[in-house]
Structure 1
Amino acid sequence: MNLIAVLLTGLLAGGVSCAAVQGGLLAGLVTRQRGDGPDGSARRPVPLPWTARLADDLVPIGGFLAGKLVSHTILGALLGTVGAAVQVAPSVRAVLQLAAGALIITFGLAQLGVPGFRRVTLQPPAALARFVRGRARSRSALAPALLGLATVLIPCGVTLSVEALALTSGSWWAGAVTMAVFVIGTSPLFAALGYLARKAATVWRGRLAIATGLLVVAVGLYSVNGGLTLLDSPLAAANLPQTLGLAPPAATAETVTTTAGQQTVVVTATADAYTPGNIQLKAGVPTTLIVRSDNAAGCIRAFVISDRQFILPENGDTRIDLGTLTPGRLDYRCGMGMYTGQLTII
């Protein structure tokens, strides 16, 4: 899973989208924690220095964002656990990823105001909305953190899309990291919008609408491409050169050895790639694939080949019996379809 894409989604799209749903709650809480009355007049007999008032504003914002980070990280872990427990086959995961990508694209088009998508909105159930607003009325020391924890009950559309990605991640830690990175990305803009209150949030949202909408669509297309890659579709970005009749990258046999009629090939899995990307093998020879993990991380550790998935260790070798190969091409990829490679058999 590309966490940079998730971070950018939170930074530019998630902050604005979440502020539209939750910004008013945070703005009201900041005002009450600062000690202002409903009309904005100070209740303190002696005005505090601007630095102290700034601290009064930032402390509840920090508590709110910390609570939000905790609740969403736990939710991501639960979603990832569900995805892992049901042991989703790579083909089913591809379909789920395509659906998640389509959902993300839909919200991006809605944010861009594309006709036919403008009315695509998600509203939380009235009972949940009243519950969360009730947390904002509290003036206790834990009110900001409690409010942040409760926001998991009223997600914005972009958050739901990222939750779908966490579900398809296939492990509790990948789901937790996905949601945590997303919330971290939302924090700077979300804090600024909450601090400047609803009016400023509206202004910022208008200026960023086009940029964030385009970003959401781009992330959705990225997710769709991952699903197409898992399905080995000719429309996947990795397959487009061959689909268009362009020459594939040159194959290498540098990691291939043959002993006593047995062919062994080594693919190295790192944190962000499988290398080599194209390996040449001989047909008609029993073949063993060794996937050598070198600080492998993320979806790289979910290695898929011939519609079989193998969970790689962070470091160490995983041996896979490929049997006797026939001429052609055999692709391998990560569990999210983000990282790929191929075996060219001649």
Structure 2
Amino acid sequence: MNLTAVLLTGLLAGGVSCAAVQGGLLAGLITRQRGATRTATPATMPAPAPARHAAPARAITHTTTHTTTGSTWSVLGDDLTPVGAFLTGKLLSHTLLGALLGALGTAVQPSVRVNTALQIIAGSLIITFGLAQLGVPGFRRFVIEPPMSFSRVVLRSTRSQTAFAPALLGLASILIPCGVTLSVEALALTSGSPAAGAATMAVFVLGTSPLFALLGYVARKAATAWRGRLAIATGVAVVIMGLLTLNGGLELAGSPLAASHLLTATRQNTPATSAAAASAAASVTVTGGRQTITIAATSDGYTPDTVTARAGIPTSLVIRSAGARGCIRSFTIPDRDLQKILPATGETRIELGALPTGTLDYACGMGMYTGEITAN
């Protein structure tokens, strides 16, 4: 296991993959907190007491400089507290998850059907949080806030108040799926020990930290001037990602409401290009009564994504990976409850048996990339 590669994966791809959802929720949360703080400050800030004696000019200059420097660091600390709390919560939850995956190995790997149900639930929750962030009536109560009873006991300072909710969001981030995270979780699952699994997930989260830190800091600073617009922008982004996540679950479930099924009629009425037809035909070969279907898995998805094969003869599916990444490496055939983790580069063979007449759908682990094999 190469932890350097895991770190680079988090730095270059993990942050971007998860920033739209997790980063959007974090930015929205920070914006709401900043707005509440700005509203409360004028009413709660005590007036400064008048000085009784004037201090020497030199002392005033020195004190002012010292106070300004201290104030600058204090403001910086206030700005970084929410994102620091979020990253701490995220690091803790993902490290514990990695240890669990490493300890239990393949025994803990959920079935495709369980993953599908979890993704549909996650997509619905993400949409709910996004609508709450937009202030849609009926959804405004679905926000991540500390319970009042706990707040009275624990939260004694402004920093602890601004840190608690982001920390909760960070802890809950394991429930918000991201494509690259799935691949790293699969790596932790096969790591062979709790320590290796924990290290894998911890290093990955550390790699995603710079982008999240920047996003949280910008949200904190921009909240004063652009609070309303920032909340709307992040809310819209969260809703869009929630719809994509929900659609991925519907794709895995084979629902007629999934985007690919809604577009089936359009694709059927649109003739395939000669190049696409030739590629699909070349991917199917029959030798000695055995059929072989070959598809490529790259960073752009699966090619060809529509294949016509013969029904009733033994069939092997060969997947040739070339730079595959993210959820593309989690190859899934929902109807067979089958999931294979593809190498980034290499070849994977799956025995399908004799294909019945009909369509066999396949997809990546999050349903973002799909394809089908039609047997006649």
The answer to whether the superposition gives a TM-score over 0.5 is yes
Identity of aligned residues (%): 39
2:43 maps to which residue? none
C-alpha distance in 2, partners of 1:131/1:249?
A: 65
1:72 correspondence with 2:90: yes
RMSD: 4.4
Amino acid at match of 1:326: P
The yes-or-no answer on 1:312 pairing with 2:342 is yes
Report how far residue 163 of structure 1 moved. 3.2
Structure 2 CA distance for partners of 1:297 and 1:111, relative to 1, 3 Å: same
- Count of residue correspondences: 319
Query: Quick one: which amino acid aligns to residue 32 of structure 2?
Result: A
Tell me: CA distance 1:323–1:309, structure 2 relative to 1, closer, same or farther (3 Å).
same
3-state SS, counterpart of residue 253 of structure 1: helix
Task: State whether structure 2 residue 217 is matched by structure 1 residue 191.
Answer: yes
Distance in 1, matches of 2:244 and 2:204, equals 15
Q: Displacement of 1:96 after TM fit?
A: 0.8
Match of 1:164 in 2: 176
Which runs of 5 or more structure 1 residues have no equivalent in the other structure?
Answer: 26-37, 138-146
Shift of 1:54: 6.0
Aligned to 1:144: none
Report the 3-state secondary structure (helix = DSSP H, G, I; strand = E; otherwise coil) of the residue aligned with 2:137: coil
Match of 2:257, SS? coil
Alpha-carbon displacement from aligned partner over 1:93-150 (angstroms, at most 9, x marks no partner): 111111111111111111222221122233224547865766958xxxxxxxxx97x7
Distance 1:12 1:95, change over 3 A: closer
- The residue number in structure 2 matching 1:280 is 308
Distance in 2 between residues matched to 1:337 and 1:247, nearest whole Å: 24
Secondary structure in 2 aligned to 1:165?
coil
Distance 2:204 2:178 in 1: 6
Residues 241 and 248 in structure 1, CA contact (< 8 A), matched pair in contact too: no
Contact 2:30 2:219 in 1 (8 A): no
Q: Deviations over 1:5-56 (max 9, x none)?
A: 632335544213145358999xxxxxxxxxxxx96xx995252699998678
Alpha carbons 1:91, 1:307 under 8 Å: kept? yes
| CA shift for structure 1 position 227 | 0.2
The equivalent of 1:6 in structure 2 is: 18
Q: Aligned partners of 1:3 and 1:284: how far apart in 2? A: 46
- Structure whose alpha-carbon radius of gyration is higher: 2
Taking structure 2 as the reference length, the TM-score comes to 0.68
Check 1:322–1:277 CA distance in 2 against 1; reply closer, same or farther (3 A cut): same
Q: Are the counterparts in 1 of residues 27 and 216 from structure 2 also a CA contact under 8 Å?
A: yes
- Summarize the Cα distance change of 1:242–1:79 in structure 2 as closer, same or farther, 3 Å threshold: same
Corresponding residue of 1:86: 108
Deviation at 1:86, TM superposition (A): 2.9
The verdict on how the C-alpha distance between 1:267 and 1:184 changes in structure 2, with shifts beyond 3 A counting, is same
Structure that is richer in helix per residue:
2
Q: Does 1:298 align with 2:312?
A: no
Query: What is the deviation of 1:205?
Result: 2.5
Which residue in the other structure is 1:47 paired with?
65
